[in-house]
Amino acid sequence: MNHASGSISRGFLRVAAAVPPVRVGDVSYNIKRMQEFATDAEKKGATVVLFPELSVTGYTNGDLFQQRLLLRAVEDGIETLRRFTKKKRIVMIVGVPVASDGKLFNCAAVIGRGNAYGIIPKTYIPGYKEFYEERWFASGRDARAVAVSYAGTTVPFGRDLLFRLGGGDGVTFGIEICEDLWTPVPPSSLQALAGAVVVFNLSASNELVAKAEYRRELVSQQSTRAILGYVYTSCGVHESTTDVVFGGHAMIAENGSMLSESKRFQREGELIVSDIDLEHVRHDREKTTSFGEGVHEHALSFRRIDVPVAAPRSQGLLRTVHAHPFVPSDGLMRARRSEEVFSIQVAGLAKRIEHAKIRHCIIGISGGLDSTLALLVAVKTFSLLHYPLKNIHCYTMPGFGTTRRTRSNAERLCKALGVGFEEVDITKSVSAHFMDIKQDPRLHDVAYQNAQARYRTMVLMDKANQMSGLVVGTGDLSEIALGWNTFSGDHISHYDVNAGVPKTLVRYLVGWVLERQVENKEAQHVLGDILDTPISPELVKGRGMGITQKTENIIGPYELHDFFLYHFVRWGSSPRKILFLAGHAFGKRYTAREIKKWLTLFISRFFGNQWKRSVMPDGPKVGSVSLSPRGDWRMPSDAETHLWLKDIEGSLKNSSA
């Protein structure tokens, strides 16, 4: 992408959607208000500003649209906007009635740098219920001219226009008008297949009970289906007349996410501004092969108009960057997401158990979050299958670093839930193993720690053989990404129910089960204490109840690693962009150098541990990020990190400069 041609740095395009006050039929007044809003949008760094349908005249003119006086005033108004934009660095998209070939069309005009670059007629003209547009306007399908003489210049005209900001490899955008979006195959779908990554919709949608929710879903769904940024704005309260009321609804969406939305019914009007991540759009299009297949079914020819408007200098970032992308910030949505993820885990385990004709499960229970979640999934699964809970066999295997707190919580939780529980102290066996391999027990190195993890897995597998059972894995997605597991140790199981669940979500899932699924008071109390327990492998001896080996002190904060994982795998973002986004998401919580330090570790560990992921056990995919070698993520085990680490260093140098 050419960053100097229509987009700000790091692949973002800043856009604005305006709902200015209007006076129906008062063109000069409307033009002045539009100039004010365009100036404000430019100050906020927007490259394109969108105005509502027929915004130059007002939408509710009725038969006045057929008055030549009004149409001449519109052309004068467009000429005024042309002159206004001559020294501006912003493109205006405005709604105008345009006469051509003996017909009147409801159109959008693209204006910038003193030029009118194109006029696009509305395709679908409503003539039902409260809408009477067919009385005045013809469909764009009826247009014959490919250009019109308008406002003192010749302007490209037609439904087949796409626009490129800056030309060349700049940002391609399309335009549709109101009702066009409500149709089974909107023009924006065809524009997207032809290369448009952003679509602007000028609308005049009146207000009815629940209609705003419907519009929101429509915009969000179209941005998802067509994989693009979608900018929408509808006329405001000053259009309200006779039997209809307008509220002024503006939205900016990106691939299903609502980036910004206006308040409706604002009498002073409103302007919303946000940054669309074009790299996200292009990444998803390239990854979603079925998107490209649509070109063969719906190939249309479009004319491309270059709009040589340079982007303003970057002014930070005008969009929310969620610090915890796997965890919804809204409490209600978070509860729904937790229920859905938990249900997927249960359904996956139930299928595996039924298919294998197994009636016993074996779980290594440590008193930590991951094994607790796996146990809760197993309990729910056995309840649904009507299997005895005693057929869930939990083993706690205290080693050299096990604390009384986690050991106690493991036993109390199992007894409270009514599952089988047994302790197997591994210290003597592992000590004997140290003698066999000549390992100095005073040297707490990788061999010292991994021997414990491998012996625990051997116990679980052998127990499974004894009772023809299935070992339920406990490792989560974050550990798999970082390789924070012992190969042939906790890395291995018969089915890993947590394989698709990132660490930042595990805590919320356990909390959701505590609130919604568990009625036993003792179990509730234990789960509460487990939620408060620091994350630790407990492979090095601590003191009493205290945990001295804390995972996040060793490999860094999981909230950062999950953020890195999401943007690296889900969006294919470069380390430089991830650093930029992390700076916005975490604010003053971490310094730039801290984020850089942990991102460097993440990249190094992610590349260095692919060989473990290549042989990871089955487990249910629960979200948009999965690392299963049989599904979403395939990479060579021996890929070099040089390019990615160099990008981190380059970003740090630039920020220092």
DSSP SS3 for 194: coil
CA dihedral 111, 112, 117, 118 (to 10 degrees): -20
Q: Are β-strands 495-496 and 392-396 bridged in parallel, bridged antiparallel, or unpaired?
A: unpaired
SS3 (DSSP) at 187: helix
- C-beta of residue 107 within 8 angstroms of C-beta of residue 121: yes
Helices within 386-499 (DSSP H only): 404-417, 427-437, 446-466, 477-482
Residues designated as active site: 53, 122, 178
Structure tokens at 151: 């406002």
Rounded CA gap, 390 and 382, in Å?
10
Cα separation of the two ends of the chain: 24
Task: Round to whole Å and give the CA distance between 19 and 266.
Answer: 9
How buried is residue 434: exposed, middle or buried, by Cβ count under 10 Å (0-12/13-18/19+)?
middle
In 3D space, the residue among 125, 126, 137 whose CA is nearest the CA of residue 96 turns out to be: 137
With contact defined as beta carbons under 8 Å apart, do 116 and 88 qualify? Answer: no
Farthest-apart Cα atoms in the chain, separation: 100
Give the number of residues written for the chain.
Answer: 657
Residue 628 CA from chain centroid, whole number: 20
State how far Cα 270 lies from the chain centre: 26
Joined tokens for residue 653: 């140098």
For residue 567, the SS3 value is helix
Q: What is each CA distance from 321 to 267, 336, 571, in whole angstroms?
A: 30, 21, 14
Lookup: tokens for 482:
């970082």
**Is-contact 537 529, C-beta < 8 A?**
no
Nearest Cα residue to 203 out of 175, 166, 222: 175
Nearest to 586 by CA among 602, 600, 599: 599
Distance CA 248, CA 245 (A): 10
> How far is it, in rounded angstroms, from Cα 366 to Cα 136?
74
Distance of alpha carbon 329 from alpha carbon 654, whole angstroms: 32
**Which residue shows structure tokens 């430019």?**
42
What are the Cα distances from residue 235, in Å, to 52, 108, 244, 247?
5, 14, 12, 7
Residue 127 CB neighbours (<10 A): 11
Q: Which of 260, 333, 319 is nearest to 585 (CA)?
A: 319
Contact between 380 and 389 (Cβ < 8 Å): no
In sequence order, which residues have a C-beta less than 8 Å from that of residue 307 and are 6 or more positions away? 6, 91, 110, 112, 113, 117, 163, 164, 165, 166, 167
Amino acid, res. 301: S
Which 3-state string (H, E, C) describes 68-120? HHHHHHHHHHHHHHHHHCCCCCCEEEEEEEEEECCEEEEEEEEEECCEEEEEE
- 8 A C-beta contact, residue 514 and residue 520: no
